[in-house]
């Protein structure tokens, strides 16, 4: 017995609209363009597809012999009632939910249950993931509201995006807002440092350093950029540029404290320059020490109370240094992968790592540091930042490898919003 599939019905009755893409209905079509329709089918105007229509036959009714029902190829299953007894075709009406055969040709007339199913799929709630759709970011997502990923940059309460600064063409590795300046500075591995007007959000100046900028900070009128084998310093008030030589390899981290500029380099050494008070000196900064102890690149630096410097490395350790003597006082081993970021918050030290954890360190009575709490993220943590909100509650920002920034209220680390 011949079964007419959807494609044959289209050809028979002259319809030109392609069938609805079943992968689009499920929110999983990744073809662009797709040869199937990305819209719900409408009710056909042809009378053969109207279940309320009474059909008349010019021929005399014939006895229909039951035959096994075959599943149409490449087509979703239909709601068809199985036939177990011969059906006599009446001349006045025909059941549209049963398979009949009248005359030498066979015709399958079925209730369009697939249309109802498609509508059900379309209106069913789609469980959203917590990742931003990468196709939506480039205006190429074909799923629309059925996409399981986020089609927005931020969701939550209390925060909203102000501007999108997009002149860099590679990864941004640092931003700095000098005290008293209305310009925001950003560095990138595209080899440039850009200045942005804080009122308009436009790039007003850029400096081509001809080397990847892997860290950027500011102190007073100075902006410091970590480059390969050097640190570039620029005074934004006078326009003076100074190159500080000494580091071996890429300068991955910078910090400033106790009138000392500190640079963590790829060779595992921390380089220290002290500000010169001699106005006649050739350089306003003088290399005064090199802090050795890490066996792999120094990724992050933080300065806390009691004039202490904390350094995190790819060797999985955190070292504590006295800024007065520039000597190492202790080594902390609480992570199993690269220590990616450090911040000092009052009497606490917070460290993040590629091992997907954030550790909160507290000082013991013996004067050492121990882990008081460990928070685990699904993905590795790239950076940390702390601030207080409008209600003076401490908020911790965690930048993660899944392209999100997650915000937690301390000390319970309950998630508030995610971007």
What sign for the dihedral angle of Cα 327, 298, 301, 188? Answer: positive
Domains of the chain, by residue range, sit at: 1-152, 158-292, 330-419
Tens digits of residue pLDDT in 267-282: 999 999 998 877 777 7
Confidence band, pLDDT 50/70/90 cuts, at residue 127: low
- The more confident residue out of 125 and 203 is 203
Q: What is the pLDDT of residue 130?
A: 63
For residue 194, pLDDT beyond 50: yes
Cβ-in-10-Å burial (0-12, 13-18, 19+) of 232 comes to buried
Q: Which two tokens stand for residue 247?
A: 């580091």
- Rounded percentage of the chain residues whose pLDDT exceeds 90: 44
Beta bridge partners of 166: none
Euclidean distance between the first and final Cα of the chain, in Å? 58
Cβ-in-10-Å burial (0-12, 13-18, 19+) of 224 comes to buried
Q: Which fold has domain 158-292?
A: Methylamine Dehydrogenase; Chain H (2.130.10)
- Least Cα distance to 249 among 282, 281, 233, 271 occurs for 271
Beta-carbon contacts of 58 under 8 Å, excluding residues fewer than 6 positions away, are none
Exposure string of 352-375, with b = 16+ CB inside 10 Å and e = fewer, is: bbbbbbbbbbeeeeeeebeeeeeb
Mean pLDDT in residue range 52-57: 44
Q: What is the pLDDT of residue 42?
A: 55
Are the C-beta atoms of residues 290 and 314 closer than 8 Å to each other?
no
Are the C-beta atoms of residues 186 and 168 closer than 8 Å to each other?
yes
Predicted TM-score (pTM) above 0.75: no
| 158-292 shares its CATH topology with 330-419 | no
Alpha-carbon span 291 to 204, nearest angstrom = 38
Q: What is the pLDDT of residue 227?
A: 97
330-419 CATH: 2.40.10.480
Are the C-beta atoms of residues 106 and 120 closer than 8 Å to each other?
no
Tens digits of residue pLDDT in 203-252: 999 999 999 999 999 999 999 999 999 999 999 998 999 999 999 999 99
């Amino acid at each position: 017995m011949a079964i007419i599939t959807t494609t044959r019905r289209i050809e028979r009755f002259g319809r030109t609209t392609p069938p609805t893409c079943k992968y689009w209905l499920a929110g999983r079509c990744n073809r662009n363009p797709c040869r199937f329709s990305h819209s719900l089918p409408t009710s056909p105007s042809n009378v053969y597809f109207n279940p309320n229509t009474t059909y008349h036959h010019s021929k005399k009714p014939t006895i229909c012999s039951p035959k096994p029902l075959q599943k149409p190829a490449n087509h979703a299953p239909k709601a068809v009632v199985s036939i177990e007894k011969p059906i006599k075709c009446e001349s006045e009406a025909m059941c549209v939910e049963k398979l009949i055969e009248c005359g030498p040709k066979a015709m399958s007339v079925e209730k369009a249950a697939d249309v109802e199913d498609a509508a059900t799929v379309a209106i069913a709630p789609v469980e959203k993931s917590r990742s931003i759709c990468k196709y939506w970011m480039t205006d190429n997502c074909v799923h629309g509201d059925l996409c399981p990923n986020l089609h927005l940059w931020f969701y939550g309460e209390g925060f909203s995006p102000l501007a999108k600064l997009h002149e860099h063409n590679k990864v941004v590795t640092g931003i700095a807002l000098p005290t008293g300046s209305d310009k925001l500075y950003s560095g990138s591995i595209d080899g440039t440092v850009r200045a942005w007007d804080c009122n308009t959000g436009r790039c007003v100046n850029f400096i081509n350093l001809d080397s990847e900028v892997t860290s950027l900070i500011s102190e007073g009128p100075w902006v410091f950029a970590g480059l390969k084998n050097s640190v570039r310093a620029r005074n934004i008030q006078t326009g003076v540029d100074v190159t500080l030589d000494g580091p071996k390899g890429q300068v991955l981290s910078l910090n400033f404290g106790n009138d000392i500029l500190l640079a963590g380099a790829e060779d595992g050494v921390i380089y220290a320059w002290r500000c010169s008070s001699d106005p006649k000196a050739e350089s306003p900064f003088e290399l005064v020490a090199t802090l050795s102890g890490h066996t792999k690149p120094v990724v992050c630096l933080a300065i806390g109370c009691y004039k202490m410097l904390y350094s995190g490395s790819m060797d999985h350790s955190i070292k504590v240094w006295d800024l007065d003597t520039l000597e190492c006082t202790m080594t902390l081993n609480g992570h199993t992968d690269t220590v990616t970021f450090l911040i000092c918050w009052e009497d606490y030290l917070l460290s993040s790592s590629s091992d997907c954890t954030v550790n909160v360190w507290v000082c013991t009575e013996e004067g050492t540091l121990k882990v008081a709490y460990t928070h685990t993220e699904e993905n590795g943590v790239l950076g940390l930042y702390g601030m207080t909100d409008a209600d003076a509650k401490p908020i911790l920002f965690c930048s993660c490898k899944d392209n999100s920034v997650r915000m937690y209220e301390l000390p319970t680390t309950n998630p508030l919003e995610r971007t």
